[in-house]
Amino acid sequence: MSDTVTLAAEKRERTGSRYAQRARQAGKLPAVVYGHKEEPVSVALDSKDALSHIMKGEKVFEFDMDGTKQHVILKDLGYDYLGNNIIHADFARVDLNERVDVKAHLKFVGDAKGLNTVGALMMHPNTEIELNCVVTNLPDSVEVDVSEMEVGDVIHASDVKLPLDTMKLVTDDDAIVAQIVLKALAADDDGEAS
**102 Cβ neighbours under 8 A, 6+ residues apart:** 59, 73, 130, 131, 132, 133, 138
Taking the C-alpha atoms of residue 52 and residue 164, their distance in angstroms, rounded to an integer, is 27
Positions in the chain whose pLDDT score sits under 50: 1-2, 185-194
Of 32, 22, 109, 43, nearest in space to 78 by CA? 32
Confidence (pTM): 0.66
Of 83, 84, 125, 126, nearest in space to 104 by CA? 126
Q: What's the confidence (pLDDT) of residue 1? A: 41
Taking the C-alpha atoms of residue 177 and residue 127, their distance in angstroms, rounded to an integer, is 6
Q: What's the confidence (pLDDT) of residue 184? A: 66
Average pLDDT of the residues of the chain:
86
Q: What's the confidence (pLDDT) of residue 57? A: 81
